Amino acid sequence: MLQGPGIAWYLGIAAFLFATGALGVLIRRNPLIILLSLEIMLNGGNLALIAFSRHAGNGAGQIFALAVMAVAASEVCVGLGLVVALHRRRLAMDVDKLSELRG
Amino acid sequence: MILVWIVWVVAGFACLASAVAVVSFSNPFYSALALIGNLGSLAVLYLLLSAEFVAAAQVLVYAGAVMVMFLFVIAYVGPRLETPWAGGPGWQSLGAVLAAGAIFVEIIVAIALKAGGRLKHSEHVNAPFGSPGWIGRLFLTDHLLAFEITSIVLLVAAVGGVILGSHTRRRETA
């Protein structure tokens, strides 16, 4: 028996986290904060996965959440590599000004 | 019972407030610190959902390793302030708020339509649910392919990080 609030409350928090992360991705211009907002979106997804895993009494959701964590770590690795490369080349930390792919 | 509710309300409120703080702070350093609070309160929510191993991994991997890397890079790049609402509400930020609100409503409606009636009664779970041994057994039996593919993803990301770093260094010396 699940004590305390039901699954729907957890899903509400997950939806709010996802929407907040999406707002951050859309509204911010600094690539570092866009990465942080992406982390919030991934964590909203993780919370929904774990809530449904508990609801169904099935472990696949938790396995999927751990895989999402590994994907988030990979994303941070590549994203922070990009940010450091931008910094080394003295480019502006503004995704609106980074409009060409040429190296 | 009442204690669970209190813990849930505190953790949920901390989670939502720190998520809003991450998006609205102008200093990336404060945003990263707020995200650590967000990840910690999410770990408490995972514990309430009897996902002990995922909560521990959340604190160790996310709030520990990943956020230390974030803070290191922010300290390396230096503080670059950016005011998210500078110049009043332009059409871009207005559209972003509308889009985020639409996503929120859409998720809620989709969940309510597909699973609204079945969310009342959760399954009963036994003691090993969410424990490290149980997760490990699942990983090495039912989900072995996902486990191996995860290791390949991590390897590719590490190689990508090294290539990104070495490429810029070569360009600088040339």
Domain ranges of chain B: 1-82
Interface of B with A in 129-158 (CB under 8 A): 129-130, 134-135, 138-139, 142-143, 146, 150, 153-154, 156-158
Closest CA–CA distance from residue B74 to any residue of chain A (Å): 8
Distances (CA, A) of B158 to A70, A79, B14, B172: 12, 11, 33, 22
State mean pLDDT over B43-66.
Answer: 92
pLDDT tens digits, one per residue of A34-75: 999 999 999 999 999 999 999 888 889 999 999 999 999 999
Lowest mean pLDDT across A8-22, B105-119, B146-160: B105-119
Interface of A with B in 32-51 (CB under 8 A): 32-33, 35-37, 39-40, 43, 46-47, 50-51
Phi, psi of A58 (to 5 degrees): -125, 135
To test the contact with chain A by mutation, choose from B42, B59, B144 the residue with the greatest count of A C-beta atoms within 10 A, namely B42
Q: Quote the pLDDT of residue A88.
A: 85
Q: Point out the residue among B31, B139, B150 whose CB comes nearest to the CB of A36.
A: B31
Q: Cα torsion for B110, B116, B121, B124, to the nearest 10°?
A: -20
Q: Which two tokens stand for residue A61?
A: 């959701």
pTM: 0.90
To test the contact with chain A by mutation, choose from B1, B7, B22 the residue with the greatest count of A C-beta atoms within 10 A, namely B22
Q: Which helix (H) or strand (E) is B168 found in, with range?
A: helix B144-173
pLDDT band, very low/low/confident/very high, at B122 (cuts 50, 70, 90): confident
pLDDT tens digits, one per residue of B59-107: 998 888 899 999 999 998 887 776 666 556 678 888 889 999 999 999 9
Enumerate the residues of chain A whose CB falls inside 8 A of the CB of residue B82.
28-30, 33
Pairwise CB contact (< 8 Å): B73 & A32: yes
B77 at A interface, C-beta within 8 A:
yes
Closest CA–CA distance from residue A24 to any residue of chain B (Å): 5
What secondary structure does DSSP assign to B81-150, as a single string?
---TTTTS--HHHHHHHHHHHHHHHHHHHHHHHHHGGGSSSPPP--TTTT-HHHHHHHHHTTTHHHHHHH
pLDDT band, very low/low/confident/very high, at A2 (cuts 50, 70, 90): confident
Contact A18, B38 (CB under 8 A): no
To test the contact with chain B by mutation, choose from A37, A41, A42, A66 the residue with the greatest count of B C-beta atoms within 10 A, namely A66
State mean pLDDT over A5-28.
Answer: 91
Phi, psi of B90 (to 5 degrees): -80, 180
The span from the CA of A24 to the CA of B170, in Å, is 34
**A1 has pLDDT over 70:** no
Query: In the 8-state DSSP scheme, what is residue B51?
Result: -
Enumerate the residues of chain B whose CB falls inside 8 A of the CB of residue A90.
none
Of all residues in chain A, the percent with pLDDT exceeding 90 is 55
Measured CA angle at A83 (ends B159, A16), to 5 deg: 100
Q: Quote the pLDDT of residue B157.
A: 94
In B, minimum Cα distance to A65 occurs at B54
Q: What domains does chain A contain, in order, with CATH numbers?
A: 7-88 (1.10.287.3510)
Higher pLDDT, B89 or B140: B140
**A9 has pLDDT over 60:** yes
Contact B155, A73 (CB under 8 A): no
pLDDT tens digits, one per residue of B7-31: 999 999 999 999 999 998 888 899 9
Topology given in CATH for the domain delimited by B1-82: Four Helix Bundle (Hemerythrin (Met), subunit A) (1.20.120)
pLDDT band, very low/low/confident/very high, at B56 (cuts 50, 70, 90): very high
B174 at A interface, C-beta within 8 A:
no
